[in-house]
């Protein structure tokens, strides 16, 4: 059976509700359509079911299991949807023992995916850069492998609580928008109403920062290979001090 949902966590918990309610074995479902998916079901997001499932899972499994389940869902692995479903069903069946099943393949892979997401979200707390726009919004574009915006947004709510800002995940077309003390997170198609002109001071500060970064570097000790070990090359294009091009959004 092919199960289709809207890609959101709300939709995903609705899918889980459908699977549990109809007692469908995880071995008989797929979240990836192929020629063998004779039967298919489209799940519509229902906020009441989402709230019900959230409360149900919080009551039924440990916080650690919930943490791994959610982080697995946020990962970019192709099999993560089905894997997280298998994991949470196992956790519901063995709520006290699941965290000790370190030889179980499902648990092993969920641990692996969860750690990848946690590691990347922690890394972006340090490397995320904002640019000040003329409309007084701070804007940051990132390109993470995993869907980390839901995990890092609250950190910046605390740090930049008096500012308006946007964090845009270009890879997943998701944005966190913080405006007038309100945070909203969601998938987007475009920013039609945002003026992306940089504030003049921002341009100057970027130039100052680049010159400072260049002035403290030691040419003879430059080692790009080592630098890539600490900072993956795919992240470089959003770092002001390393990007080759002039500032762009």
Interval 19-39: pLDDT, tens? 999 998 888 888 877 766 678
Specify the DSSP class assigned to residue 197: P
What's the whole-model pTM score?
Answer: 0.83
71: nearest Cα among 3, 121, 144, 10: 121
Q: What is the pLDDT of residues 143-181, one digit of tens each?
A: 999 999 999 999 999 999 999 999 999 899 999 999 999
* Length of the chain (residues): 249
Residues 10-27 have a mean pLDDT of 92
pLDDT tens digits, residue range 81-114?
999 999 999 999 998 888 888 889 999 999 999 9
Q: How far is CA 200 from CA 133, 160, 209, 237, in A?
A: 9, 21, 14, 21
Angle, helices 63-74/105-127, rounded to nearest 10 degrees: 70
Q: How far apart are CA 223 and CA 208, in angstroms?
A: 23
Angle at 151 between CA 148 and CA 154, to 5 degrees: 130
- As a whole number of angstroms, the distance between CA 17 and CA 226 comes to 47
Give the integer Cα–Cα distance in Å for 135 and 196. 8
Whether 141 shows a pLDDT value over 80: the answer reads yes
Residues 6+ apart with CB under 8 A from 25: none
């Amino acid at each position: 059976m092919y199960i289709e949902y809207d890609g959101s966590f709300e939709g995903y918990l609705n899918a889980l509700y459908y699977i549990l309610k109809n007692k469908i074995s995880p071995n008989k479902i797929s979240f990836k359509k192929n020629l063998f998916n004779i039967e298919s079901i489209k799940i519509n997001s229902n906020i009441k079911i989402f709230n019900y499932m959230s409360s149900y899972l919080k009551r039924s499994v440990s916080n650690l299991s919930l943490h791994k389940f959610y982080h697995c869902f946020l990962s970019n692995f192709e099999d993560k949807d089905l894997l997280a479903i298998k994991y949470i069903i196992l956790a519901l069946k063995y709520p006290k023992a699941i965290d000790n099943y370190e030889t179980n393949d499902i648990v092993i892979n969920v641990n692996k995916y969860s750690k990848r997401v946690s590691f990347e979200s922690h890394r972006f707390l340090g490397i995320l850069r904002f640019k000040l726009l003329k409309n007084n919004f701070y804007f940051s574009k990132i390109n993470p492998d995993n869907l980390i915006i839901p995990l890092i947004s609250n950190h910046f709510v605390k740090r930049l609580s008096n500012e308006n800002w946007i964090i845009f995940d270009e890879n997943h077309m998701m944005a966190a928008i913080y405006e007038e003390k309100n945070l909203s997170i969601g998938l987007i198609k475009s920013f039609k109403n945002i003026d992306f002109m940089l504030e003049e001071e921002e341009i100057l500060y970027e130039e100052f920062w680049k010159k400072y970064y260049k002035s403290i570097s030691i040419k003879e000790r430059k080692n790009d290979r080592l630098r890539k070990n600490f900072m993956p090359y795919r992240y470089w294009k959003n770092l002001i001090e390393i990007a080759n091009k002039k500032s762009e959004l």
